Each structure stands twice: as structure tokens, then as C-alpha cells.
Amino acid sequence: MKTRDRILKTARELFNARRFGNVTTADLAAECGIAEGNLWYHFKNKRALLEALSDGFLDEVEHRLALLPSDETRVLEDYANMIEALVSEIRRYRFLYRDQADYGEHTDQLLERLPGIYRDTLAQFQTFLHAMVKAGHLDMNRERLPELATNMVIILRYHLEFLRESGADSDIGSGAVASAVQQHLTLFRHALTPDAATQLDAALSDRLLNA
Amino acid sequence: MKTRDRILKTARELFNARRFGNVTTADLAAECGIAEGNLWYHFKNKRALLEALSDGFLDEVEHRLALLPSDETRVLEDYANMIEALVSEIRRYRFLYRDQADYGEHTDQLLERLPGIYRDTLAQFQTFLHAMVKAGHLDMNRERLPELATNMVIILRYHLEFLRESGADSDIGSGAVASAVQQHLTLFRHALTPDAATQLDAALSDRLLNA
DNA sequence: TGTTTTCTAGGGTGATAACCCTAAAAATGG
DNA sequence: CCATTTTTAGGGTTATCACCCTAGAAAACA
């Protein structure tokens, strides 16, 4: 892997673990096994690093937001694909959501988009839920879908923080991710047909093993 | 209000808004309208401030955890009381949950207790849910109560962060708190009897007006 | 091979922030 | 009124950290 990419990957991991403001550039260089000067060779300053990361994040988000129910018969697979993407996005980039207070006043492209991202994500979930209802997988009053979507997004977004705050373990590995997905399923599993439930389970566990 | 208390209150508010590590003692003194030296007169150092705050927090938590269903006929009022306390606790002290990475290496009394607090809180919610089932207010399979309790706690804990991240508003006033409570109600309102639902609504809105 | 790119070691700077110190002014309270 | 507590202004000290600079080594590459 090229040094520049290694820096970005390591920075992502350190920022997620210890937050942006608490990772010094010296730490980062040490963790990458390079001289600190080499950081400045690849990135103008710490903020440039943040911007490179948030560019990657924004790209991923757009791709994930484009994942929509395609065919009536494949809603559940499509949903599982979207969840896989969302969960990987949250696991790898959660510091971007979380550490806004560390970035300072700078008008970031990211800060402008975040509200829209949440809005679009909620709309995306509602679209999937409607599709599940239409396909006969989900039995729920249409009026309840918006609030359910909100609950789903919150659980997926914060279950990792919840595990961490409650001291489950600092290792936010695939186990934690899997349990976030399980937890979000509890929000609507009771309203799924038995068939749909087993199908969803299968599709999700397929996709979460190679994570 | 005594200066010492004003410092604590202002510190709480600033820490909640901008996180512990991003509030300088100079900022704090300015916001209190006192000289910085006066901070050191009242508190040995920044960490002592943190400890005073977390002592207050731990006290409140113990009181809140002691709020349990008393009488079968009063489960809903008791629940509303507990929610009122929990929500005020979260609004006023959320930085203590959130900013763990900022505290440094010191083995805080708080860091040791947090996992237990979450465990006890989950148990508390399960107790209330069981009581609601027993009193005939809530119609839900017992097996689903633990997962429901988890979802309730997560929504209550993180709805404020969610609003903030999604840029709703930086002012985390009573409006935001009320909407967190509403959101958590969506998790089980559908399984309440109509009577219980209106009773709970009334009890909660009573208590959230004087917040 | 020679040239360009990448990288290192290490000293240096400027800003920021926690925290100290002192001498004196207010406020408080008995 | 006197003694004690509280508070102020302002000038340190020390540590940390982002970031700069330079001279040269090692890689990459052509």
C-alpha cells in the first residue's frame, strides 16, 4: 500500500479510536512507522488530512445512498446490501459524525452536507420500508414508518458508541457491528412475515461475515 | 448563587456544548465573568472540576436508579417520574458519557461506574416494562422486553446527539428533550392500551413543561 | 546510469493552554 | 470595626503540538 494511503487509513483508525483532536501528528507518524516530516510531504497540514478523509467518506455516502430497492422480489437482498454499506461506512468514518466540535469554525464541505446526509438516509430507509410493506414482507401501518426509520438510523449510528460507553470493549470489531445490526432488527422483526425474517437474517449474516 | 456553583454550572454547560477538552479554563472564567485565578482558588485544577461534576452526576444517577414502580396502579406515573429524571440527567451531564477519551489516563471513579450505570439502567427499564405488562397497560411478549429496553435507553441517550449531528440546532433546549421523549415513546406506544397511552402522554407532558 | 521522488533525522518556531504567584482590592461576617 | 474570605489584575513558567526547514539518504524509475 502506498504511504499516502497508509497514512489515511491509520489516521482514520486513530481518529475513530481517540478522536481527531486527541491524535497528535507525532502519534500518527509513529503509528505509520514514518518520520513526521513525511506527513507534511504528503499533506499540507492536519486539516488537509481531514479533508482527504471526508472526501472519501462523502463518495462512499453517495454510493450508499444510491442503493435503493430495485425489484419487488429482491427488496430484502437490496436492503441487506444497503445495510452492509451503511454499517461499514459508520464503522470506518464515525469520527466524522462525532468530532464536529474539534474541527473549529472552518466552514467544511462536510459540515454543510451532514444534515442532508441524515435527511437522505432517513428517506432511504423509508423507501425500503415502504417497499417491504408493498412486497408483503412487512406488516405495519404506513404512518408508523417514518418514526421506525428514525429509530433504525439512530440504533445503527449509535450502537457502537453505546457499546463503547458502556465499556463492552474498546475493540470495535466485527462482533460489535454484528450486534448493532441485530439490535436494529429487533425494531421491526416482529412485524415481518416468518419467511421475510429468515430471508433477511440469511442475507445479513452472509454479508457480515466478510466484514 | 455562590461562585463555586456558578463555575460548576457554567462548566457543565460549556463542556456539554463544546466538550471537555475544547473548553479552556480562560473561556470558562470569561463565561463566568470572573478572573481565571479565581478558578484556581475554588478548584485545584481542571480535573478537580471534572471530579466535582462527576460526583454530582453519580449522586443524581443513584437517586434516579432508585425510582422504581411502587404500586401497580401508579406504574405510569412512576415511569414518567423516572423518565423526567433520566432525561434531565442526560441533558445536563451528557459530556460525562461522551468525552471519556478526553479525561486522560487517570482511573476515574466515573469510568469504573459507567458500565454499571448502563447495566442498572437497562435493568430498571426492564422492571418498568414488566410492571406495565403485569398491570395490563402493555401487551408485549416478555421475551421482547430486554431488546425493547435497550432500544429505549439508546434512543433517550442519543437522540440529542442525533439532533445535533444532523444540524437541527445547536440549542439543545427543552424542545429537543421533548422530542427525544416522544421518539422513545414510538418504540412501544403501539403495544399500549389506548388508556395507558393517553395516561402516559399526560404524565409526561406534565413533567416536561417545567424543565 | 543519472534524475526525480520519496523519505529520514533532527533542530527550531510560534501558539496555546494549564497552572503558579503575588500584592492588593473588595466583600463578608461576627 | 476588625478579621477572614473571596476576588482581581497581570506577569510568569512549562508543556504540548502543529508545522517549518534543511541536508542528505534511500528508492523508484527511466
Q: Which nucleotide is nearest to B3 (CA to C1')?
A: D6
Can you give the pLDDT at residue A167? 81
Per-residue pLDDT tens digits of chain A, which is 211 residues long: 899 999 999 999 999 999 999 999 999 999 999 999 999 999 999 999 999 999 999 999 999 999 999 999 999 999 999 999 999 999 999 999 999 888 876 668 898 899 999 999 999 999 999 999 999 999 999 999 999 999 999 999 999 999 989 887 656 666 888 999 999 999 999 999 999 999 999 999 999 875 5
Same domain for A127 and A60, yes or no, is yes
Same domain for B37 and B101, yes or no, is no
Distance between CA A1 and CA A101 in Å, rounded? 32
Same domain for B121 and B205, yes or no, is yes
Put simply, the answer to whether A186 touches B147 (Cβ < 8 Å) is yes
Same domain for B82 and B185, yes or no, is yes
Put simply, the answer to whether A115 touches B167 (Cβ < 8 Å) is yes
3-state secondary structure of A186: coil
Same domain for A113 and A37, yes or no, is no
Contact A15, A99 (CB under 8 A): yes
Pick from A54-58, B6-10, B104-108: least confident: B104-108
Interface pTM, i.e. ipTM? 0.93
Distance between CA B61 and CA B89 in Å, rounded? 7
| Residue B110 located in a structural domain | yes
Q: Average pLDDT of B29-41? A: 97
Rg, Å, chain B Cα set = 19
Same domain for B19 and B66, yes or no, is no
Instruction: Place B211 in a pLDDT band, splitting at 50, 70 and 90.
Output: low
In the predicted structure, residue B102 carries a pLDDT above the cut 90: no
B44 Cβ contacts chain C strand, under 7 Å: yes
Put simply, the answer to whether A165 touches B190 (Cβ < 8 Å) is no
What lies within 8 Å, CB to CB, of B194 at 6+ separation is none
Put simply, the answer to whether A147 touches B100 (Cβ < 8 Å) is no
Structure confidence by residue, pLDDT tens digits, B164-183? 888 876 566 668 899 999 99
Can you give the pLDDT at residue A108? 80
Q: Which amino acid is at B13?
A: E
Cα→Cα distances B157→A123, A166, B90, B152, Å: 23, 12, 7, 8
| Residue B132 located in a structural domain | yes
The domain that holds B7 is classified in CATH as 1.10.10.60
Can you give the pLDDT at residue B17? 92
Cα→Cα distances A61→A164, B48, B172, Å: 24, 42, 27
Same domain for B105 and B72, yes or no, is yes
Q: What is the separation of C-alpha A56 from the centre of its chain, rounded to a whole number of angstroms?
A: 13
Total domain count, chain A: 2
| Residue B138 located in a structural domain | yes
Distance between CA A152 and CA A186 in Å, rounded? 9
| Residue B195 located in a structural domain | yes
Same domain for A67 and A171, yes or no, is yes
How many interchain CB pairs under 8 A, A with B?
A: 89
| Residue B48 located in a structural domain | no
The domain that holds B97 is classified in CATH as 1.10.357.10
Same domain for B129 and B191, yes or no, is yes
What residue numbers bound the domain in which A143 lies? 52-209
Distance between CA B133 and CA B148 in Å, rounded? 13
Same domain for A67 and A150, yes or no, is yes
Can you give the pLDDT at residue B170? 58
Which residues on neighbouring strands pair with residue A138, listed in sequence order?
A192
Substitution target in A99, A147, A188 with the highest count of B β-carbons within 10 Å is A147
Same domain for B69 and B156, yes or no, is yes
pLDDT > 70 fraction of chain B, expressed in percent and rounded: 94
pTM: 0.94
B40 Cβ contacts chain C strand, under 7 Å: yes
Q: Which amino acid is at B149?
A: A
Nearest CA in chain A to B16: A101
Distance between CA B156 and CA B149 in Å, rounded? 11
Same domain for B140 and B37, yes or no, is no
| Residue B49 located in a structural domain | no
